[in-house]
């Protein structure tokens, strides 16, 4: 998994409006990255259609909402694997150190696809 910002026009998603989410993102920005799969020339939304819809609507008034934080779910390069390990560490503080060490050791030998 790789985290980065992507222009909203590069992401294919289903329109799903939420007025309260539009207000929240207008005030605070996108707090949780949209999950996407990368394809040759576009990104496919896996989770975050409402966030993308809110950003699309807000971008009509403010260009800063055109760049959306995404988490690329189908990146299996070394960087992607290590990013996933870091994500798991940050979201699951109770995970045992031994299990993390095994995951990191596997990532060291991962070959890019």
pLDDT value of position 48: 95
Residue 104 has pLDDT above 80, yes or no: no
| CA–CA dist 11, 105 (Å, integer) | 33
Angle between helix 19-28 and 49-59 (nearest 10): 70
If one compares 99 and 64, the residue with the highest pLDDT of the two is 64
Q: How do residues 6-23 score in pLDDT, each as one tens digit?
A: 999 999 999 998 999 999
Instruction: Pinpoint the alpha helices (H) of 7-77.
Output: 19-28, 49-59
* C-beta of residue 48 within 8 angstroms of C-beta of residue 12: no
What pLDDT score does 74 carry? Answer: 87
Contact between 46 and 36 under an 8 Å Cβ cutoff? The reply is yes
Cross-strand partners of 2: 72
What pLDDT does 113 receive? 47
What per-residue confidence (pLDDT) applies to 3?
Answer: 87
Each residue's pLDDT tens digit, 37-84: 999 999 999 999 999 999 999 999 999 999 999 999 987 765 555 656
pLDDT for residue 109 is more than 90: no
80 exposure class (CB count in 10 Å sphere: 0-12, 13-18, 19+): buried
Burial of 61 (0-12, 13-18, 19+ CB in 10 A): exposed
């Amino acid at each position: 998994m790789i985290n980065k910002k992507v222009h909203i026009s590069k992401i294919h998603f289903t329109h799903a409006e939420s007025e309260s989410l539009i207000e929240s993102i207008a005030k605070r920005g996108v707090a949780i990255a949209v999950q996407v799969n990368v394809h040759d020339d576009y990104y496919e939304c896996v989770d975050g259609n409402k966030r993308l819809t809110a950003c699309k609507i807000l971008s009509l008034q403010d260009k800063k909402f055109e760049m959306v934080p995404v988490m690329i779910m189908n990146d299996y390069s070394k960087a992607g694997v290590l990013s996933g390990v870091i994500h798991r560490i940050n979201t699951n503080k109770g995970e045992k150190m031994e299990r993390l060490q095994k995951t990191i050791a596997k990532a060291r030998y991962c070959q890019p696809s």
